[in-house]
Amino acid sequence: MKKKNKKILYIEDDPDARALMADIIRHQGYTYLEASRGLEGIRLAKLHKPDLILIDLMLPDMQGSEVTTHLKSLPELHDIPIIALTGASSQNVREYVLTAGCDGYISKPINIKEFLFKLEEFLAGKREFVPPEYEKEFLQRYNVELVERLKRKVSELESLNKNLSRLNADLIASREELANYNDLLFYLNSLANYLRTLNDPQRLLKILPEQIVEGFHLDRCVIFRHDPHKGVIKPCSFFGEFEHAPEGAVLPFSDQLLQLVREEGGLLWIKDHHQLVEESLQDIGSFFNTSSFVISYLQELGRHNVQHLQKEETDEDFDPGIAIDERYVIYLDKHTRQKNFATYEIRIFKSFFQTVAIIYENMQLFNRLKYLYKIKSEEAIRDGLTNLYNYRFFIRELKKEVARTKRYKTPFSLLMIDIDYFKEYNDLHGHVEGDNVLKTISRLLELNTRQTDVVARYGGEEFAIILPAITKKKALPLAEKLRSLVKVYPFPDKVHRVPCRLTISIGIAGCPEDSKDHVELVRMADAALYEAKQTGRDKVCLYQG
């Protein structure tokens, strides 16, 4: 057989030794195979059926002698020569490996010339044997050592199996915990999305305890309102099983407890009675008859947007009916279930309460902005002194009424009103009393017209009223009524100490009867007003054209 057709398998864990052997074997023209572990060597031997196997006695997964015994037990590999190549220096190592089934022994470090010579000999059929007189002794010793190694391996496997069983149990528990974690995360996300659809912060606080108890499998949840000035908390909503109903309870909440919660990032987890070191905590635990619970302070978990908004607003903008700086404490436990919280549950609670705090703040911010928008919108169309519609809004509505008349043929009337001798009253009594007169007359006009009518302050002591769907003729009685109401009203007279009588003059124009142009309509109603003033005041005049 030519060299190039002969295959040599080298089983060795040292990569440097394998690289050196590869150079030597290939240089001699042999086909070189290598394996770094015993099991890999067995697989390659079965696959390639080499002409010679070189094996190191010390392998990572099993001893070389064990690999040899296994290979020799296979009929298809029984006749392949196996040579032990090792640096082991123990006594009788050569006899030991030959007893294990090796056909030869070469010690390390090798002499290349001598090694190649022996290689040729073993390939040519040379075999080494243990002398018959020692064979039985070494075989018995080898079998004893093999049995001992097998016992150790069995023991190691049993230990490994126990570890695997424990690991498997831990994995099952972890899988269940992960499933619970995922379920809670899914519920948290669904609940957060639902809470975002609400517009009322108080409704959120009302429904939250029930959602928390049922969704997170708890026993009790209470939301307290914190009064930092008195250092107490009072329940505002709750759900669950209670030995004593929390409604009406007043529990202490000291600055020290608040600091503890802050140090924990807004959520304090009390695991057992050893952590009940603060007096307020002891009182809370005593009230709920438990030593394991969670306290979360919403304000510490939020972004404080609303508080920032409050600082930016002026005093006149602030509406005390809208609560801005409300502080809430959330309490929850598993008291009746006799279960402790898991660490992952605490992480979820903290994440959830951070979301709730932000949602709550956003609701407050939205409601506050909506309120301010309403105020600013009213300010944009209202006169600051009389609270009637202002000139800008009046002109806009007048244009709309003209357009409606042109389209639907519905008439309307325009009243222009002026207070008679107002300047004299104002000069005599002062601007404050003059302003009060303007406010009073504005109120009289507003109370004695329809909600659909537009009552506006046109400027100074002059007013304008748009009367939709009323002709000029039908507007006359209403105008007379308004004139009479003002005439009999007892305005204060601080100079003469008796009620003062003031009067108004009114001019009326109609659309489309007099004009279909809003500018012309104002001019015509103003002309009628001028006529009333010129012909004696305290009168109502219709525009005559």
Q: Percentage of residues in the chain with pLDDT exceeding 90?
A: 52
The verdict on 211 and 357 lying in the same domain is yes
**Overall average pLDDT of the 85-107 stretch:** 80
Q: Minimum mean pLDDT among 44-53, 165-174, 253-262, 477-486: which range?
A: 165-174
Looking at per-residue pLDDT, the higher value among 334 and 516 belongs to 516
Q: Percentage of residues in the chain with pLDDT exceeding 70?
A: 88
Provide the 10 A C-beta neighbour count for residue 182. 10
Distance, in Å, from the CA atom of 230 to the CA atom of 313, rounded to the nearest integer, reads: 26
Q: Which structural domain, as residue segments, surrounds residue 29?
A: 3-130
Confidence of residue 370 (pLDDT cuts 50, 70, 90): confident
Distance, in Å, from the CA atom of 391 to the CA atom of 458, rounded to the nearest integer, reads: 5
- Name the amino acid, one letter, at 424: E
**Overall average pLDDT of the 59-75 stretch:** 88
In a domain, 172, yes or no: no
What per-residue confidence (pLDDT) applies to 306? 43
Model confidence pLDDT, tens digit, residues 232-241: 999 999 999 8
Confidence of residue 107 (pLDDT cuts 50, 70, 90): confident
- For the cut 60, the answer to whether the pLDDT of residue 396 exceeds it is yes
Distance, in Å, from the CA atom of 434 to the CA atom of 470, rounded to the nearest integer, reads: 32
Per the CB < 8 A criterion, the answer to whether 38 and 69 are in contact is no
Confidence of residue 542 (pLDDT cuts 50, 70, 90): very high
Distances in Å between the Cα of 268 and the Cα atoms of 145, 211, 264, 334, 432 are 61, 21, 6, 15, 59
Provide the 10 A C-beta neighbour count for residue 50. 23
Model confidence pLDDT, tens digit, residues 242-272: 888 888 899 999 999 999 999 998 999 999 8
**Overall average pLDDT of the 290-318 stretch:** 64
Query: For residue 43, how far is the Cα from the chain centroid?
Result: 55
The sign of the CA dihedral 240, 245, 248, 251 is negative
Model confidence pLDDT, tens digit, residues 355-364: 888 888 888 8
- For the cut 90, the answer to whether the pLDDT of residue 365 exceeds it is no
In a domain, 158, yes or no: no
What CATH number did the domain enclosing 454 receive?
3.30.70.270
What per-residue confidence (pLDDT) applies to 311? 43
Model confidence pLDDT, tens digit, residues 417-441: 999 999 999 888 889 999 999 999 9
Angle (CA) 315-321-327 rounded to 5° is 90
Q: Minimum mean pLDDT among 57-66, 81-90, 260-269: which range?
A: 81-90
Nearest to 263 by CA among 293, 285, 295: 295
The verdict on 366 and 224 lying in the same domain is yes
Per the CB < 8 A criterion, the answer to whether 68 and 101 are in contact is yes
What per-residue confidence (pLDDT) applies to 310? 45
Per the CB < 8 A criterion, the answer to whether 363 and 201 are in contact is yes
In a domain, 500, yes or no: yes
Looking at per-residue pLDDT, the higher value among 70 and 140 belongs to 70
The verdict on 360 and 433 lying in the same domain is no
Looking at per-residue pLDDT, the higher value among 508 and 1 belongs to 508
Pairing of strands 454-459, 462-468: antiparallel
Distances in Å between the Cα of 514 and the Cα atoms of 256, 289, 456, 510 are 78, 83, 21, 5
Domain final residue pick, 72, 107, 130:
130
Looking at per-residue pLDDT, the higher value among 188 and 404 belongs to 404
Q: Minimum mean pLDDT among 173-177, 250-254, 368-372: which range?
A: 173-177
**Overall average pLDDT of the 390-398 stretch:** 94
How many structural domains comprise the chain? Answer: 3
The verdict on 351 and 305 lying in the same domain is yes
Confidence of residue 324 (pLDDT cuts 50, 70, 90): very low
The verdict on 434 and 524 lying in the same domain is yes
**Overall average pLDDT of the 461-467 stretch:** 97
Q: What is the DSSP letter of 81?
A: -
The verdict on 342 and 223 lying in the same domain is yes
The verdict on 343 and 467 lying in the same domain is no
The verdict on 424 and 350 lying in the same domain is no
The verdict on 434 and 324 lying in the same domain is no
Domain final residue pick, 114, 130, 146:
130
Per the CB < 8 A criterion, the answer to whether 48 and 9 are in contact is yes
Q: DSSP string of 178-221?
A: HHHHHHHHHHHHHHHHHHHT---HHHHHHHHHHHHHHHTT-SEE
The verdict on 442 and 352 lying in the same domain is no
Provide the 10 A C-beta neighbour count for residue 420. 20
The verdict on 359 and 428 lying in the same domain is no
Distances in Å between the Cα of 80 and the Cα atoms of 18, 32, 122 are 20, 15, 10
Nearest to 521 by CA among 511, 534, 536, 535: 511
What per-residue confidence (pLDDT) applies to 46? 94
Angle (CA) 411-412-417 rounded to 5° is 155
What per-residue confidence (pLDDT) applies to 171? 64
Distance, in Å, from the CA atom of 252 to the CA atom of 231, rounded to the nearest integer, reads: 6
Q: What are the structure tokens assigned to 232, written together?
A: 């107490």
**Overall average pLDDT of the 216-224 stretch:** 90
Domain final residue pick, 71, 95, 130:
130
Looking at per-residue pLDDT, the higher value among 445 and 376 belongs to 445
What per-residue confidence (pLDDT) applies to 283? 93
- Name the amino acid, one letter, at 97: V
Confidence of residue 319 (pLDDT cuts 50, 70, 90): very low
What CATH number did the domain enclosing 364 receive?
3.30.450.40
Confidence of residue 173 (pLDDT cuts 50, 70, 90): low
Q: DSSP string of 450-497?
A: -TTSEEEEEETTEEEEEEET--HHHHHHHHHHHHHHHHHS-B--TTTS
- For the cut 60, the answer to whether the pLDDT of residue 305 exceeds it is no
In a domain, 62, yes or no: yes
In a domain, 174, yes or no: no
What per-residue confidence (pLDDT) applies to 144? 65
Distance, in Å, from the CA atom of 11 to the CA atom of 358, rounded to the nearest integer, reads: 66
Confidence of residue 198 (pLDDT cuts 50, 70, 90): confident
Confidence of residue 90 (pLDDT cuts 50, 70, 90): low
- Name the amino acid, one letter, at 419: I
Q: Is the peptide bond preceding residue 109 cis, with omega within 30 degrees of 0? A: yes
**Overall average pLDDT of the 32-49 stretch:** 94
In a domain, 386, yes or no: no
Locus of tokens 């100490």: 497
Q: Is the peptide bond preceding residue 512 cis, with omega within 30 degrees of 0? A: yes
The verdict on 112 and 207 lying in the same domain is no
**Overall average pLDDT of the 41-50 stretch:** 94
| Mean pLDDT, rounded, of the chain | 86
- For the cut 80, the answer to whether the pLDDT of residue 21 exceeds it is yes
**Overall average pLDDT of the 94-119 stretch:** 87
